[in-house]
Structure 1
Amino acid sequence: MHILFLTDNFPPEVNAPASRTFEHCREWVKAGHQVTVITGAPNFPKGKVFDGYRNRLWHEETMVGIRVIRVWTYITANEGFAKRTLDYLSYMVTGFLASLFVRRVDIVVGTSPQFFTVCAAYACGLFKCVPWVFELRDIWPESIRVVGAMKASKVLDLLEKVELFLYRKASAIVSVTHAFRTALMRRGVDGNKIHVVTNGVDITRFSPTEKDTALLQQYGLQGKFVAGYIGTHGLAHALDTVLDAAKALKSAPDGDRFRFILLGDGANKTALRQRAQAEGLDSVIFVDSVPKDQVVRYWSLLDASIIHLKKDKLFTTVIPSKLFECMGMAIPVLHGVQGESAGIVEREDVGLLFEPENPEALIQNLRRLADESLLLNRFKANGPIAAKHYDRVALATNMLNILETQAKRVC
């Protein structure tokens, strides 16, 4: 079977969509299938093309047996609704045009969070007369409303009509959460066409690791209890809550024993850094995005991982992929996300929950982990056991079974 996969993000980018797509495609190639990925020049999240790449009309390479076609896109940083929309639209056009030159395709997959990529997948499937699958990573454009990136308007209403059209036209929908499936069914989408393949973890990469001595010394973390957030610093993540906690601990008698690491980039990174500097929050260490092969070194520094999203009903349907990486690395979680992902944390017994956007609750649980070694060690021990339930290899196989079934359908 020849799988054509359209995605706006792909390695060497290190965000969740890039990792999921790469790890799934890698397993499909191992299973004997031909996989072609159409993407752009790697630039997320800073909007700067990575070293060794150029933003050109067509560039082709092979990664672990995956044929990767990179097309020209309008490149911008991960901030600003209008510019990002131009980025998405440009990929929709060039990605579709590139797909016309990929021969003998059996099935097309388009992945969100934004659905312009999925528009290209729909058009490609229609043109080639093959089934196409909508991989649903986010309820978009509803998430735009929630973070306030764009005010309610007729444009958003139109985008939601396009969204529902794509749900109806897809041969199948692969959702990353059960909550997404439920939400779509409430909106009239046929539940029989919606399948759930959650995010997961490559347990060959993310496994328990001793703290990186060189990095401990570089950042002066010896003898400190280190809590960290690793990922996109976007509006949805409300990371001012972490700074609020650091500010409160600054004047606390035990405050100096804690350090916070914020690793990554995004629309809110500059504002967070400026605030920390203005308020003298020396316990907060900012680290820019690092290459994929270096991420584990930074994960190893953490005694606890902070996972956080804004307090909004929409985010109760989200399962942050970093949760599974924490499990694999035996890092207890301080989980400030309500809903389905909180249920996983409780069920697998891998961390403590706190109310989103509540710095006092974050501090309370941070102290619990620092003071209660039995609790900390229990969560650490449970993590790798739980990670096996979300092994990326098994999840890739589940999605492959869905694709094989859909590929048998007649156009």
Structure 2
Amino acid sequence: MVFRLQFFRLDLMHILFLSDNFPPEVNAPASRTFEHCREWIAAGHEVTVITCAPNFPQGRVFPGYRNRLWQKETMSGITVIRVWSYITANEGFARRIADYVSYMISAIAAAPFVRRADVVVGTSPQFFTAVAAYVVGLGKRVPFVFELRDLWPESIRAVGAMSKSRILDWLEQVELFLYRRAALVVSVTESFRSDLQRRGIDPSKVAVITNGIDASRFQPRPKDEALLDRHGLKGRFVAGYIGTHGMAHGLDTILDAAALLKREPGGERFRLLLLGDGAGKAALVERARLEGLDNVVFVDTVSKDEVVRYWSLLDVSIIHLKKTDLFRSVIPSKLFECMGMAIPVLHGVEGESAAIVEREKVGLAFEPENAAELCRLLVELEQDRMRLEALAANGPVAALRYDRKELALRMLRYLEKVVRREPLSDPV
């Protein structure tokens, strides 16, 4: 009898979530979407995710999957529908647009086969997913929610992929249209909310739900001895970058620092670990080979379980983006993972995220693209172990304020208000 009453609870929702990234992919959008949806399932709601065959960032379908018109599976109670898309590596503007548009069309085509939904959520960083969510919401006559992870297409200009273009101007008009039509915009930073307000979007319908960590996964742990042996890192001071090697990340700065370290007295003690893939990786690997940067270790993308083992190798983490005003509004999700694992951060991103690093005392900020400053801070922390340990100890304490479970439940309360057509004042 109890289960029947639960079944007929009127406050339970069916949330339809559109995201072109989802596990087993391990990038930030995939992790955030999965971890939020998992918590919504635990709260008793039904969640369906329409995504594509896992392939990011290499542009190759993961083992065990095929790029079919329709595949269905269940992950942690989440119904996952994978649709066909044009698959390409994370490089080349035209090819990536073809990838995004093909997913948009396939997601729209698949949505009518998903039974009644109460709300449709579309997540960026590319907004063609949000376009699909808007169209699906119209078709199902339910509210559309735009989860804003990146100010796309402005980020295309910021990394120099395209500068002035009528296409980008038109895309920005579509972007503004979507913000206006959304019942709710969920922004990952306060800076994004301020930008939307400046551009005429009603701030009362913009909620800020920052990135965070899965506290059950990212915890302090000893260095993985097997990996230390495999990569020749025993007895070294290991600084690392873990994530996408793309145009936005400016990872030549890390190689510049590696070159400077080789000229430092005692520089042989340092190793720089770069784990991940992306459009810029091949050039970085070739540059390191040509310049004899044997203090740089490259590792290809690993599974979500394996990446935690690699995080454990780091004495300090390097987070870096190119020096541009747009990235002042970005908060890299790996910052919170470093906090949870008690890894001090050298933070080469200006703006809102640097303020978090300084406020929480979990690392040191340096000027983006300033290799000399990065090199200096690496040497200082290697020599000042008490300072290093203090920064590390602050991480897990700060991470408690960014627990993904609590953030997911906060977003859920906003979704409930959207479905009930209630005012969107802060539900917390």
TM-score (norm 2): 0.95
Q: Distance in 1 between matches of 2:155 and 2:248?
A: 8
- Give the aligned residue type for 1:189: I
Please give the alpha-carbon distance, in whole angstroms, between the structure 2 residues aligned to 1:369 and 1:203: 26
Deviation >3 Å, runs of 4+: none
Q: Which whole-Å deviations, capped at 9, do the CAs of 1:290-312 have from their partners, x for residues lacking one?
A: 01111110000000000000111
- Which residue in the other structure is 1:184 paired with? 196
Q: Which amino acid aligns with 1:83?
A: R
- Is the counterpart of residue 158 in structure 1 residue 153 in structure 2? no
Query: Where does residue 259 of structure 2 map in the other structure?
Result: 247
Query: How far 1:409 moved relative to its partner?
Result: 2.5
Corresponding letter in the other structure for 2:240: G
1:354 aligns with 2:366: yes
Match of 1:78 among 87, 90, 103: 90
Corresponding position: 1:324 with 2:363: no
Q: Which amino acid aligns with 2:139?
A: F
Report if aligned partners of 1:58, 1:70 keep a CA contact under 8 Å in 2: yes
For 2:183, the aligned partner's letter is: S
Does residue 1:175 correspond to 2:187, yes or no?
Answer: yes
Residues 146 and 314 in structure 1, CA contact (< 8 A), matched pair in contact too: yes
- The answer to whether the aligner puts 1:136 opposite 2:148 as a matched pair is yes
Which residue among 394, 401, 409 is the counterpart of 2:406? 394
The superposition leaves residues 18-69 of structure 1 with CA deviations (integer Å, 9 ceiling, x where unpaired) of: 0000000000000000000000000000000000000000000000000000
Alpha-carbon distance, 1:151 to partner: 2.9
* Distance in 2, Cα, partners of 1:315 & 1:158: 22
8 Å contact kept, 1:308–1:336: yes
Aligned equivalents of 1:117, 1:219: Cα separation in 2: 39
Q: Of 10, 34, 46, which aligns to 1:34?
A: 46
Distance 1:99 1:152 in 2: 35
Contact preservation (8 Å) 1:131, 1:409: no
Which of 27, 43, 46 is the equivalent residue of 2:55?
43
Distance 2:389 2:168 in 1: 47
Q: Can you list the C-alpha shifts for 1:161-189, whole angstroms capped at 9, x where unaligned?
A: 00000000000000000000001100000
Amino acid at match of 2:232: G
SS, match of residue 100 in structure 1: helix
* Number of the residue aligned with 2:17: 5
Please tell me the residue identity of whatever aligns with 1:157: D
Report the equivalent of 2:135: 123
Q: Gaps spanning 5+ residues in structure 2: where?
A: 1-12, 423-428
Query: How far has the Cα of 1:369 moved from its partner?
Result: 1.1
**TM-score normalised to structure 1 length:** 0.99
Measure the CA separation in 2 of the matches of 1:133 and 1:32: 20
SS at match of 2:289: helix
Alpha carbon RMSD of aligned pairs, Å? 0.7
Question: How many residues end up aligned between the 2 structures?
Answer: 410
* Matched residue, 2:5: none
Match status 1:56 vs 2:79: no
> Does the residue aligned with 1:260 lie in a helix, a strand or coil?
strand
Residue of 95, 98, 101 corresponding to 1:89: 101
Using the aligned pairs only, state the percent identity: 68
What is aligned with 1:292? 304
Distance 2:201 2:379 in 1: 45
Aligned to 2:425: none
Give the distance between the partners of 1:53 and 1:294, measured in 2 at CA: 20
SS at match of 1:110: strand
Q: Distance in 2 between matches of 1:178 and 1:264?
A: 28
Paired residue for 1:198?
A: 210
Residue 152 of structure 1, CA deviation: 1.3
1:107 maps to 2:119 = yes
Counterpart Cα distance in 1 of 2:258 and 2:29: 30
Partners of 1:38 and 1:304 lie apart in 2 by 37
Instruction: Could you tell me which runs of 5 or more consecutive residues in structure 1 were left unpaired when the two chains were aligned.
Output: none
